[in-house]
Structures are given as structure tokens and as C-alpha cells.
Structure 1
């Protein structure tokens, strides 16, 4: 798609609920730092209205960020999809260009970058807590970081069948356990994909904390999460997903600008710094 367009373009984040989204704050900070005359808003869109809203976009609207519950619908709407979207069946970024809708899953790259920033540029094994859509992105990210063995902890183990199948495609040996029956082996990293406020029984959480290494919790609202509190009580370290939020947004902006989510922005380190500052309200 070439270099970032100079004209004033419009972008939005869609989802339901959407009022809590921090995306406008960090996107606008990045656009200002880059000197791009772009706008970025938010719109409440549910699954039932997604197709109609998409069809009503005007010519100035060039890209969308998608959050719950629209990632599967966005996947279906995309004309083309990147590797991570194809693997996960989820699209969190749509770019309109040349009469087509290009779909990306930047959550995976965001996880890879932020987990790497916490000292895990490579790992052999890990654990995922939860078996929903975010767990799928987490598994692909762990594979990109080199993981060969991943244990999935799910309250309903049958819900993790898709992760086992995906693991086979990625060359990862995925095992599944109930919260109170994790394997005895310890792992250096646990990625929690539980929704905000979701909690495990105290005993189960304590067992996970004792054998789970660093807890990387994708939750960033209502921090610390119940699972993070269990980690802290055991003396282990836990971090939230704010860094991932920034890193996936950086990759969205790359895609908005040039159609390539992997090529860095101009002076990207400085852009990331202003996005982080905006996130913290500085």
C-alpha cells in the first residue's frame, strides 16, 4: 500500500462495550508524534449491527480496530488475512485499500513483543490459563517465541480441544488440565487469558502460582487481577497486559499506514514512548 497517506483519514475502534477502551488515547498520541492529520474515535457496535455499520462507512474511513465481540465477524468480512489471523480465526484490525478489506491479528505480535520485553525472547515451555479466543492468540505467540510444550489450564477442559488442534499445526505439544490438576513440572511463564474479575479457587490459584514462573496477565483493567493477587501472595511476580495493548496498537498503526504490520514506523521507539505516556495519563 506504500507510504503513509498524507491526507486526513479516519479510524475507529468498534466493540460492545466500548466506553472503557484506551485505544483512542494511545492512537491519537501516536498520530500526533508522527505528524499525521488522522482522527481516531470509538463506536459501540455489536455483532448484530457489524455488517450494516461496515457497509455505511464513508470514503475517509480507512481502518478499524476491533475488540469483543467482533473479531470473528471481522475475520469473515476480510478479503485478505495475514498469517496470524488465519491461524487464530480472529481479526482485530481491518484496513480498507484498493477496494478490499485487509485483515490482521496484531494481538499475536503485541504479545510476542511485550513478553519478550519481560525477558522471554525465547522459551521452551509455558502455561496458558483459559481456553477462549485470547488463548488462541497466546498460543500462536508462544509458538513464535519458540515454545515446544504448552499446558492449557481450563475450567472446562473440553473447551481447549481447538487449542490442541492448533498446537499440532504449530508443532507445539499442547496438554490440557483442570485448574486443580496441573502437571508437576514448573514453567518459566504463565499467560492468563481469563476475563477481568474471573477467579479460580484459592487452592488452585496457589498451585498455579507455585509452579508458574512469571504471570503475564492480559488483563489491564481492575489490576491486580484475582490471579495476580495469588501470584503476589506466593512471592512470585505478575505483570499486566498494558504493554501488549501498546504493542498491538503499534502494529495496527503500521498496517493503517502501509498495509504491512511488520515494518516499523518512522522513529518507532519515540512513538511507543508517547503512547505509553498517554496510557499513563502523562
Structure 2
């Protein structure tokens, strides 16, 4: 399915040709994607499989070329989203602008790369009533920030502020902003108090725990908050904003709606069971949290 040239074009067509799909990444065992996809397929009565496959950048080309006609597509984690671009036959304009494809659909012997993360963010924004926030501060400058910039553009924010610890950490976001036609202002975390004055929404793309020390300042600003973290929810940032009476959007909602779009692309179907997926994801997160708090036992004795 690999070609010598990648071309920008239409979004990936709905409905892959096969019945197998997987999420790729390294490490990938933590991914909620199998839980979400399997819950949806079961509720929709679809005979499809979905798995998590350990794969890094060096092994991606060989794995990609090994897939047969029974494969409907792939979902990709960072940094494979960028690495997959030269491997697909067509790439959507959005995926090129953001700088990566998180979903690849195989159909009629060709591969189509698209980006669904932006859909996840914009849908979560809309459901929270954030349809035209006007101004935004993005915490972090990596791949997730690129998706956030594209989503903010969709809701009318053309001049967001991107806050990073070092300018080099914003290279991806700065490049994506240029492709998206968005004018970003790069600032340091030491300026955050000033930058938050009067801002409408704060989007944190930082890893779990990294925004903890920023929670008081963000909560004091009164801004709506979208925190991309979903595995350790609610985060300290989300708690602080919620106690302050601000609108809070959780990372699970973003992931959920991103996955809905992926399922639409992979199956060609649009009646995706969101409630069943959310319930399955929450149950799985509860199980994981319980496992993490279980005491270790050896030979019948607590360690």
C-alpha cells in the first residue's frame, strides 16, 4: 500500500475494506482505544477486531507494508502520526497542516491518512458551550498543542498564546501555526499570571501532573479549562477550575469524540454509540485505578 509520493487531498473515505484495525505506538499498553473501539463494535453488532500493537518509528514501515486486505485501517499515537505521512497514498489537508495523521484507512488497495483529534476537541468544545471563546492560552507546544491550535481556529481563535518552558519546546506548534494560518504568541510559564488575565479558555496539553502547580493561577483567572489528561481524572487543574465555578472539559470527552470519528472512517457508519463507549471507558479506568492501589503479594504475604 506504500507509494513514492504523498499528496494532499480529500479526507479519508469512510469504510475500510477489511475488518481488522489496531492502534500503534510505543508504549501502547495504556491506550484506551481498544476498549472504546470494541465497545462500539459490540453495540453496533459488527464482527470486527481491534488490538493494540507495540510499534516504534523504525519498525513502522515494515509493519505498514505487511498488512493485507483484511485490514480496515490503523490508529497511531505520537510520534507515529508524523512518521506515517510518507507511507500513505493520500493525506488530508488537515493532517498535513497539523503535522500528522492519527488515522489511516485502507480501501481498494490504497491508504488514506486523516486527523481526528481536532474533531475530538471541537466537539468537546461545542458540547461544553464553547463555540466562540474569542481568546485562548495553550499550555505546551508539542503534537497535542498542534491539534489544539487547529481546533481553536475552528472556533474562531486566530491569535492564541502558546506557553512553554523553553522556546525549543514550541517548534512543532509554531510550525503547525504557520501551516494553519494562525498567529501564535509564544510565552514562558513565568508570565502565566499576566497572560491569563481576561482569557476565555485555557487548553492544557501537558502530561498528567505537569500542570498541578499552575492550577491556582488558572482557576483564579475564571477561564474555561480543557485538560487533555484522561487517565488520572480529575486532575488538580480540573478540580481547581471546577471549584472556582469555571467550565471544565475532560480529556476523556476529547478522546471519545476523536474515536467516534475514527470509527466512522474505518466502518463508513455514522450511528456510533457514544454512551456505551463512555461507559466502557470509565469502567476500564476504574479497573486500572483499582489495580494500581492493590498491595503487592508474594508467597501469601504483603510486600
TM-score by length of 1: 0.86
1:174 alignment partner in structure 2:
184
Unaligned ranges ≥5, structure 1: 259-264
Please tell me whether residue 190 in structure 1 is matched to residue 194 in structure 2: no
Question: Which is worse superposed, 78-87 or 171-180?
Answer: 171-180
Aligned pairs, number = 271
2:164 alignment partner in structure 1:
154
Secondary structure in structure 1 of the residue aligned to 2:184: strand
CA 179–230 in structure 1, closer or farther in 2 if over 3 Å, else same: farther
Matches within 5 A, 1:127-276: 127-164=137-174, 166-182=176-192, 183=195, 185-199=197-211, 202=213, 204-211=214-221, 213-231=223-241, 236-258=246-268, 265-268=269-272, 271-276=273-278
Cα distance in 2 for residues equivalent to 1:179 and 1:47: 31
Q: CA deviation at 1:192?
A: 0.3
Q: Contact conserved, 1:217 with 1:228, CA < 8 A, in 2?
A: yes
Cα distance in 2 for residues equivalent to 1:224 and 1:186: 24
Secondary structure in structure 1 of the residue aligned to 2:79: coil
Cα distance in 2 for residues equivalent to 1:118 and 1:233: 17
Cα distance in 2 for residues equivalent to 1:76 and 1:114: 30
Post-superposition CA distance 1:223-281 (Å, at most 9, x none): 233533554576645432101111011111111123xxxxxx4434xx11111121122
CA 34–145 in structure 1, closer or farther in 2 if over 3 Å, else same: same
1:261 alignment partner in structure 2:
none
Q: CA deviation at 1:149?
A: 2.5
2:121 alignment partner in structure 1:
111
TM-score by length of 2: 0.81
Equivalent in 97, 105, 119 of residue 107 of structure 2: 97
2:300 alignment partner in structure 1:
none
CA 169–88 in structure 1, closer or farther in 2 if over 3 Å, else same: closer
Cα distance in 2 for residues equivalent to 1:194 and 1:45: 23
Please tell me whether residue 41 in structure 1 is matched to residue 51 in structure 2: yes
CA 2–224 in structure 1, closer or farther in 2 if over 3 Å, else same: closer
Q: CA deviation at 1:175?
A: 1.0
The ranges of structure 1 where at least 4 consecutive aligned residues each deviate by more than 6 angstroms after the TM superposition are none
Q: Contact conserved, 1:180 with 1:207, CA < 8 A, in 2?
A: no
Question: Superposition RMSD on alpha carbons, in Å?
Answer: 2.4
Please tell me whether residue 18 in structure 1 is matched to residue 20 in structure 2: no
1:63 alignment partner in structure 2:
73
Post-superposition CA distance 1:192-228 (Å, at most 9, x none): 001223246x3x5433332261211111112233533
